[in-house]
Amino acid sequence: MLQRLYSTLFWAFLAVSSILLFPLAVAIWLLTLPFDPRRVLLHRFTCFWASLYTWLNPAWRVTVRGREKIDRGETYVMVANHLSLLDILVLFRLFTHFKWISKVENFRVPFIGWNMRLNRYIPLKRGDRNSVVRMMRDCEDTLQSGNSIMMFPEGTRSPTGRLRSFKTGAFELAQKCERPLLPIAVRGTADALPKRGFVLQGRHPITVDVLAPIPFEHFRDEPVEDLAERIRSHIALALDQKDAAEAPTGEATGRRA
């Protein structure tokens, strides 16, 4: 009963704060239109907006490690494992510039989704080939414009916490656009908020580990399926999922997105 009450208060706070903060996002968007085409300042405000929910929630002790490995002047293809809705909030705690690739349904959420559109994050309709092609084209343009992108190569949240197979879209983009890869390992979010349901699960430590960037020269000629599996194994080892590093699970590697 206490968990349900606490969860209700949290989601109510998220809804009310989104109503209050969205007009500020619109104001920042309007004021910076003439000189900030990449929406860097708006994204920074969005990082603050998302981080409020982890800063103010005593049950979520978030630790970000390896932030110093991010070169602020570099354009990365960032890839992270996906456990929970909370992954999105905690990855904003990086406070570095990137564009999300996110399912199109998220863009329809009032205020939050509208802010995603202002930021020029990239929508994807899962299972729609035309949408995948359009997403890949938009990602190429985004990378060429100097914006990093953030993707979940598993495609959807893992229901068990174990890594699913990685789809190849992120790695095709890194090779085609000659950009470095930045693997990120997220731990603890599934315990705090499981995939199914909206009831917060009490105190759980959450960590975000930024792993060493992988320069384009290190995978220039590597088959994309092998590259996807190598990065998956790299993240699995960081998560102490040694068995996951040895054998893929879930959907077959090789699909783009």
| pLDDT of res. 247 | 53
Q: Say if 252 falls within a structural domain.
A: no
Q: Quick check: 96 and 46 in contact, CB under 8 A?
A: no
Provide the mean pLDDT of the chain. 90
Q: Residue 94 pLDDT > 60, yes or no?
A: yes
| pLDDT of res. 164 | 87
Q: Say if 256 falls within a structural domain.
A: no
Q: Say if 214 falls within a structural domain.
A: yes
Long-range contacts of 223-229 (CB under 8 A, 24+ apart): 224/168, 224/171, 224/172, 224/175, 225/168, 225/253, 225/254, 227/168, 227/171, 227/174, 227/175, 228/153, 228/166, 228/167, 228/168, 228/170, 228/171, 228/253, 228/254, 229/166, 229/253
The total domain count for the chain is: 1
Q: Say if 257 falls within a structural domain.
A: no
Angstrom distance (rounded) from CA 60 to CA 242: 26
Q: What is the CA radius of gyration of the chain?
A: 18
Indicate if the alpha-carbon torsion angle 150, 159, 206, 118 is positive or negative: positive
Exposure of 200 by Cβ count < 10 A (0-12 exposed, 13-18 middle, 19+ buried)?
buried
pLDDT band at 244 (very low <50, low <70, confident <90, very high): low
Q: Residue 240 pLDDT > 80, yes or no?
A: yes
Q: Say if 18 falls within a structural domain.
A: yes
At 155, the amino acid letter reads: G
pLDDT band at 242 (very low <50, low <70, confident <90, very high): low
pLDDT band at 140 (very low <50, low <70, confident <90, very high): very high
Q: Say if 254 falls within a structural domain.
A: no
Q: Which residues contact 128 (CB under 8 A, 6 or more apart)?
A: none
Q: Is the pTM of this model over 0.85?
A: yes
* Enclosing domain of residue 66: 2-246
Tell me the mean pLDDT in the region 182-190: 93
Q: Say if 253 falls within a structural domain.
A: no
pLDDT band at 144 (very low <50, low <70, confident <90, very high): very high
pLDDT band at 256 (very low <50, low <70, confident <90, very high): low
Q: Residue 98 carries which DSSP code?
A: -
Q: Say if 251 falls within a structural domain.
A: no
pLDDT digits (tens, 9 = 90+) for 4-21: 787 888 899 999 999 999
| pLDDT of res. 89 | 93
pLDDT digits (tens, 9 = 90+) for 50-68: 999 999 888 888 999 999 9
For residue 84, the domain's CATH number is 3.40.1130
